[in-house]
Structure formats: C-alpha cells, structure tokens
Structure 1
Amino acid sequence: MNSTAAAPSLSLNLWQQFRLVAMRTIYFGVGIVIAVLAGVLATESRWLESGALVSVALAFILTGVIYRNELAPQWINFLFICALGTLVSVSMKSSGMMGVYWMYPVLAMVFFMFDRTIFVLVIMLIYALFAAVMYQFLPFEYAWRIALSMLVLIGVGAVFLVMMSYMQRNLSKLYATDPLTGFYRRDYVAEMMQTELERAKRNQQPVSAMLLDLDSFKNVNDKFGYMFGDAVLKETAVRLARFCRKNDVMIRHGGAEFLVIFPNTPLKQAAEMTGEMLDSLRHEPFSVKSMMTTVTASAGVAEWRKGQDWGQWLERADAAMDKAKSQGRNRLRIAQ
C-alpha cells in the first residue's frame, strides 16, 4: 500500500503556483513592452501598426487583471502565442536579423503558458513557424545556426520542466505525509473522507472507515521513553499497512490514533481486515534493542450511510472506538 498515492488536489501544487506568478508577470510585462513599441510606431506615424499593437497590449493586460488569481484557459494562451508568433514573423520579414531576438522570449513563455499535456505540441508548432520564416527571409548560414540555438533553448526548458516536476512530487509528498509513519497527516482527513464519500456516491459502492487507537500508549512513553514510543508508532503503521490494499487510505489521526478508509468495502469486510490488524498488534511484541512490550489497540468501524456527511461518518467510527475502550479495550466494535 502506497500511503502517499493521491489526487493532485491533496497537496500544494508548487509548479502551478509558480506558473500563476510567472503568467501574471508575462501578461503585464508583455503588455507593457508591446505598448511601448506601439508608442514608438506612433511617433513614426505608423498608425495602423501602432493600433494593432495597442490592441494586443490591452488584451495581455486585461487578461492579467481577469486571471490574476487563477490560470487562464489554454485557448487564450494559444491565441496569445499565435499573435506573438505572427508579430515576430512580421518583424523578421521587415527587419531581418533584428526580428530574431524576439523569438527567444516567445519560446520561453510557452514553458509557462501551457500544461504538460499540450506543451510539446505547442512548442513544436511555434518552432516550425519560426524555422520556416527564418529560412524564407534570412540567409541559410544564419538560419540553421539560429534554428539550432532554439532547439538548445527548448532542450534546456524541457530539462527545467522535468526537474520542477521531480521537485514537485517530492515536496508534495513531504508536505502531505506524517514524517514518522509515512501516513497522510491529519490535515487531510476531511479531504480524503469527502473524496471517498463522493466516489462511493458516484459509483454506488460501499465505503467504510476504521478508527484505531493504541491502548494506554501514555504508559508506554512514561515507562520506556518517547524514542521507544515513536518506534512503536512507526511499527504500528507498518503492521497496519500489511493488511491494506493499494487503494486504501491511511491517515495518522493524531497521537496514537490511526484512520484507515476502505473504498469499495462493505462493513463486514472492513471489520475482518481491522480484526487482522488488531491481532497483529496484540500477538507481536514491540521491541527496540533490549526493551520489549506488548501493545494492544481498540478500534471502531463504520460504513458510510446515504445522507451522511463525512463528519457524521467519522463520528460514528469514533463512537464505536470509544465503546471498545469503555468495554475493556483491546477489541473492535461496529458502529450502529
């Protein structure tokens, strides 16, 4: 069971946040640059070109205002890239080598403006457009060198995206999981339970939850010390994971409490799996170096019922666990 496999929404998407900041900068920065160029053309009485550039500049700035707190739709960015590609092509046709310098920032923008699913397609389309224009309006000895330098830029950008993706996965995992047990942190209880609840509604399948608490865990800490207690918690997580399947969700609910969500699992099956977990705890002593002790646990299991929200579902599991503790601990109780 991989306790960190989850939907992207479970963690702070650092790359998306970075893209959002970058896109705001691009919208306003490009808008201002194009507005300045429009002013230069206006001083030369080139009113038609100046008016066209002003329109493009306003479109960039307006988009930056509208989408300052979220990423703009991909089709808007595609229109902008097409507009910039056209402007650069016209610049190369009229100015020759001077227009080449505008290609590189446009290519760099593509890395931030599009999701990875369509990035490759867009970057290759823009590259093909620029290459075709260069070979038409520039001497061949310059055109092939510039085309090669653009490929280098694209390669560097691709490496950057791969590194960002790798960093994203590792930081997301670090942020989302409890460092001691490797389970999800308590912060994700609401999100995970709501996600599984909605999936059960959508697929019309049962879903159950188990809440487990180690019995008298404070005595373990007092007798053997907190380092031993941490080792017990870590080993408890390992033992619980033995009986969990690929899609089961494990959460450290706090202290010595663990929450496990069993998707597509009726109450009887969840209770059987929980019983196996309790047996593994009570029958296998915990040992660290020369110290050894037996630790038991109490657990409550509840199946989600139609009409309940995730909080009510969790409360039923918690009430069942409390009942197990009040009746002598080291046992399992089923929520009514």
Structure 2
Amino acid sequence: MNTASASVTSTLPLNLWQQFRLVAMRTIYFGVGVVIFVLAGIVAIEGQWLETGALVSVALAFILTGVVYRNELAPQWINFLFICALGTLVSVSMKTSGMMGVYWMYPVLAMVFFMFDRTIFVLVIMLIYALFAAVMYNFLPFDYAWRIALSMLVLIGVGAVFLIMMSYMQRNLSKLYATDPLTGFYRREYVADMMQRELDRAQRQQHPVSAMLLDLDSFKNVNDKFGYMFGDEVLRETASRIARVCRKNDVMVRYGGAEFLVVFPNTSVKEAAELTGQMLDNLRHEPFAVKSMMTTVTASAGVAQWRANQTWGQWLENADAAKDKAKSQGRNRLRIAQ
C-alpha cells in the first residue's frame, strides 16, 4: 500500500520550517546589522578608524541582504561569507579581549542552525566549531578553553535535536495536508503534480504508465438508505480494498465523493485492467457491514494507458471517458480506453 509519502512533500505549499527560517533570517540580518553598527560606534569613539570601517561594511552587508532577501531565503554562499566574517570578528575579539570575546560565539553558533540547509549544515557547524576551538586553545587558559568547547558541543547537540524534531513535525504536517482524512489517499488537489511526475518518469525511462478511475455505483442510494456515517464507512472500506490490490509504487487518490483514481507506474493497460478487475471483485463479492446494517456495493471503472504526446489532462480524460462508458453500459464493469 502506498499512501501519501515524502515524495510529494516538495510540492506542498505548506512548509512551516522554511517559513520559520525566513522570518528568523530576516531577524538575524537586521539584528546583527544593528548590533555591529553599535559596535562600530564604540570602536569609532576609541579612534580605531580601520576597524570601524570594517565593522560598518559588515553591518551594511547584513542589512542590505535583509532588504534584498526579505521574501525568500538568501543563497547559501552569502550566508557562508557572513559566517566567515562573524567567525573572524569573534576570533579577533577573543584574541584582544580574552574571555569577553567568548560570549559572541554562542549567538554565531545559533545562527548556523537557521542559515544553512541540512545538506551543508553539518560541514559549516563543524568548521566554525573547529575555528573557535583553535582560537580558544591559543588565546585562553586551558582550564577555561576545554569547558567552553564542551559547552559549545552541548549547544550544537541541542540544536541538532531541534532540527530533527522540526523535520519530523514537517513530515507529519505534510502528510496530513496532502491526504484525505477519511481514506488516507492523496487529495484531489495533488492530481496534476502526481500525474505529471509519473508522465515525466515514463518519458524518461521509456516505460508504460496507466491510470484507472473507479466510481461506486448508486452511492447516493447508500447514503439515503443507511445514512452518511454508514456511507463514510463504505468509502473507507472501499479505499482499503483498493489499497489491498495496489503495489508499493502505485499512487492512490480520492478523486471525488465516491470516485477514486489510481496511477500504475511501469504498467501496461492490460496489467492495469487485471489489477482493476481484482478491485471490482473485492467490492462486488464482499458485502459492506456496519453493526446490523449490510449492503453490497459495486463500482464502474475505466483504464487508460498514457500515449506519447498526450498531456496528463488528456490521459485522465481518456480514463474518465472509459469509466462513463462502463456506467452507461450497465455499471458494475470495467472498460478500457481505446
């Protein structure tokens, strides 16, 4: 059975972690810029004009980036340059101010968790940790240096756990957002993305791909006779019986009220028709029962194989036309698109 999975996550409009990162990065860019401006003012009062110029340049770079990338995440290379600049400033501060410079390490380490994607996060956090550890062991007493290095590792560990928890939460939210709560199948809103993805894969791999539309016959009569709660159980059980036949890579969608779509990757129309026939048999031969109520429900289905130069919409229309033909010819049957 293949219900909603991580493969569709990338198409979802809902990504709380990315939205959270965007807000955090805007705050970091402007916040760091303001703090460095203040430090530049303090250094200017002391008459250190070269250092003042360097600090003002870094502050302006942060603020300008915050303005330019206020609605999207900045490229990773920009953030890497910023981390290098901040790492250099903190290292110079530890060299000149000793223990007073240590306090600036922790916010810099915390920024790394928001500035980089998971693909390069580990590399950057290890590089900045190695830099700070080397500076501490060179310019701070050893008794302080090893304790501070250990506390930095604790901070990195806590941050890593936070990222793992956010990733787990995002996966669960994505799955919840993408799936129909009654059946566990994908929502209809994702049909275009999923069918186009399967179509592209079929073109790339030169493999067949088929689609099936199945609609329960006279489902309105079931709701009218037994009530909507019984009808919901019929839909849930129908989905379960469909999933029982589907393979691991088949994609299942609740297409409408009592209508279901299944996309069969790497499957000819003949194979798809055989699988669909098993689904129809599972429906017609096994009565639906809830407590003392029982009824038999049949379905009509249409199957179509994607053809070269067809859009996913035309492909789906062929399956729909075959299903309508099955309905018009007496229901409780399967028809294959010509």
Q: TM-score range by the shorter chain?
A: over 0.9
Q: Deviations over 1:56-101 (max 9, x none)?
A: 1222222222322222222222121111111100011111111111
* Distance in 2, Cα, partners of 1:72 & 1:218: 53
| Among 117, 120, 124, the residue aligned to 1:118 | 120
Tell me the amino acid that sits aligned with residue 10 of structure 1.
Answer: T
Tell me the amino acid that sits aligned with residue 267 of structure 1.
Answer: V
* Distance in 1, Cα, partners of 2:321 & 2:64: 54
* Distance in 2, Cα, partners of 1:35 & 1:205: 60
| Among 37, 40, 45, the residue aligned to 2:39 | 37
Tell me the amino acid that sits aligned with residue 8 of structure 1.
Answer: T
Partner of 1:254: 256
Map 1:55-94 to 2 at 5 A: 55-94=57-96
Equivalent residues of 2:287, 2:296 under 8 A apart: yes
* Distance in 2, Cα, partners of 1:4 & 1:10: 12
Tell me the amino acid that sits aligned with residue 2 of structure 2.
Answer: N
Equivalent residues of 1:177, 1:185 under 8 A apart: yes
Equivalent residues of 1:206, 1:304 under 8 A apart: yes
- Percent same amino acid at aligned positions? 85
Partner of 1:9: 10
Structure 1 residue 3, shift from structure 2 partner: 0.8
Tell me the SS of whatever aligns to 1:236: helix
Q: Deviations over 1:17-55 (max 9, x none)?
A: 211221122122212221222222223332211111122
- 5+ residue gaps, structure 2, are none
* Distance in 2, Cα, partners of 1:173 & 1:261: 19
Partner of 2:309: 307
* Distance in 2, Cα, partners of 1:279 & 1:190: 29
Runs of 4+ in 1 over 6 A off after TM superposition: none
Aligned length: 336
Equivalent residues of 2:22, 2:73 under 8 A apart: yes
Tell me the SS of whatever aligns to 1:251: strand
Map 1:283-298 to 2 at 5 A: 283-298=285-300
Equivalent residues of 1:208, 1:303 under 8 A apart: yes
Partner of 1:177: 179
Map 1:145-294 to 2 at 5 A: 145-294=147-296
Tell me the SS of whatever aligns to 1:305: coil
Tell me the SS of whatever aligns to 2:249: coil
* Distance in 1, Cα, partners of 2:171 & 2:297: 35
* Distance in 1, Cα, partners of 2:122 & 2:10: 24
Q: Deviations over 1:269-325 (max 9, x none)?
A: 111111111111111111111111110001111111222222222111111111111
* Distance in 2, Cα, partners of 1:45 & 1:306: 74
* Distance in 2, Cα, partners of 1:269 & 1:199: 18
Q: TM-score, normalised by structure 2?
A: 0.96
Equivalent residues of 2:9, 2:171 under 8 A apart: no
Equivalent residues of 1:10, 1:176 under 8 A apart: no
Tell me the SS of whatever aligns to 2:255: strand
After superposing the two structures, state which structure 1 stretch, 103-112 or 21-30, moved more: 21-30
Structure 1 residue 154, shift from structure 2 partner: 1.0
After superposing the two structures, state which structure 1 stretch, 162-171 or 100-109, moved more: 162-171
Partner of 2:133: 131
* Distance in 2, Cα, partners of 1:111 & 1:77: 11
Q: Deviations over 1:201-235 (max 9, x none)?
A: 22222211111110000100111111111111011
Tell me the amino acid that sits aligned with residue 66 of structure 1.
Answer: V
After superposing the two structures, state which structure 1 stretch, 10-19 or 238-247, moved more: 10-19
After superposing the two structures, state which structure 1 stretch, 192-201 or 212-221, moved more: 192-201
After superposing the two structures, state which structure 1 stretch, 35-44 or 206-215, moved more: 35-44
* Distance in 1, Cα, partners of 2:41 & 2:218: 76
Tell me the amino acid that sits aligned with residue 316 of structure 1.
Answer: N
* Distance in 1, Cα, partners of 2:153 & 2:49: 36
Structure 1 residue 249, shift from structure 2 partner: 0.6
Tell me the SS of whatever aligns to 1:7: helix
Equivalent residues of 1:31, 1:61 under 8 A apart: yes
Q: Deviations over 1:218-261 (max 9, x none)?
A: 10011111111111101111110111111111010110010111
Partner of 1:53: 55
Q: TM-score, normalised by structure 1?
A: 0.96
Give the root-mean-square deviation of aligned CA atoms.
1.3
Structure 1 residue 117, shift from structure 2 partner: 2.2
